[in-house]
Structures are given as C-alpha cells and as structure tokens.
Amino acid sequence: MTIIKICGLSTPDTLAAALDSGADMVGLVFFPKSPRRVDLDTARFLADQARGRAAIVALTVDADDALIEDIVAATRPDLLQLHGHETAARVAAIKARFRRPVMKAVGIAAAADVAAARDLAATLLAQADGEDRILLDAKPPKDAALPGGNGLPFDRNLVVGLDLALPFMVSGGLDPASVAEAIRLVTPWGVDVSSGVERAPGVKDPARIEAFIKAARAACDDGGDARGRVA
C-alpha cells in the first residue's frame, strides 16, 4: 500500500477530512513564512486529534534545537521532516538529541540531485536502523520565498526505477488529477501533497483531500503499489 501524507493541515475540520478519508500521515508545518504554519497550541490540539489514527509529521526548515524541542514537547511527532538545508551532520545531531526518525527533503531538478538523494539515503541508513525516510520534492525556483516544490512538479522520469537505501516519498505538483500517474510511473513508498489539495494558499479543501486519497488508493489497486514496502 502506498503511504499517503497530507501536509500543511491547520484546522480540525480539514484534519478530520484527511483522517476520515484514510490518510496515513498528516503534516504540521512550523516554518514561520509558510501560510500553513501552525502555532504550538494549535499543533498540540491537532496532534491529539490525529494520534492513533495517522502518523504525525512535524515539518521544520533549518530550525534550531530550541524550536524543535518545543515542537516535540507539544506534538510528540512520529517523524521530524527536515525541509531546509540541513547537512548530514545536522540531521544526525537532531536524531541523536530528539530520538525521532527523520524524513529529509531533497530538491530534484537534474540527475545530480538524484545522486545526492542516493548518497543521503546511504548516510542515514548508516546512522540508524532504517526508520528514516527521504522526500523527493521539486527544487524551488531561485526567487521562491518558500522551500519545497511550491506546487510545481519535477521530471518524474528522473526517478523511474529508483532504488534508494531507504523508502522515499514523492512530492511536488501532485493533486487529485496527477497522483495516480506519479504512483504508476515511480512506484514510490509514499506520496505527499499540500498545495494540491487547497482552494487557496494555506486553505485546505476537504473535497480535494478526499479526491486525492481516493485517486492514490485506486492507483494502488490498479497495480501501482510501491516496491520495497516498509511498514
């Protein structure tokens, strides 16, 4: 079964839509410049709502230890998503201090980026027990204010048949109309969506969330399930 993550959730109603539709992971964003950012009190409430129904992912961007400590205390996340310029050494330090698996984002625009993702996966695997994950996202445009794919896809042909040392998710430009093809083409461990299920920046649409999850599940039923599945 392909893992489905709905990221950037910020209200009880949209989180409920993701949970009721069968999301496997839900993401809470703590990057100050993001329209999807939640404060610690809201995040605590949402994490309590999700706990036991989906894995809780806390997304940070080049955060310092003090902020991560506050996030971990408030949400008790299952996974820390690192979406900035964190080095392998910084990732290792975060893992050692907070004792949480990580999902490190890698921007993809060319074959060299895929090679970098492969090297990172091998490094993470050497640091721990294989619980970490990689997120393959579109490289942001040079003038982008936000990290990540900014709703843009990358060339999926770059990662067709990719076998990393760790399971990986695909993001960037996914929406209810495109997710099935991405699953069939790449067969990733998981798919991650944020802006593709919104009606406006930071405003999730419950109907689009449901449609995205249905489309992803249908692609799995059609034989687009991921290789190397890790529970």
Q: Which residues are catalytic?
A: 7, 137
List of residues 6+ apart from 148 with CB closer than 8 A: 83, 105, 107, 137, 138, 140, 171, 172, 194
Sign of torsion over alpha carbons 14, 17, 20, 26: negative
Considering only CA atoms, which of 220, 231, 184, 211 is closest in space to residue 21? 211
DSSP-assigned letters across all residues of 163-211: --SS-EEE-SS--TTTHHHHHHHH--SEEEESGGGEEETTEE-HHHHHH
Radius of gyration over alpha carbons of the chain, in Å? 16
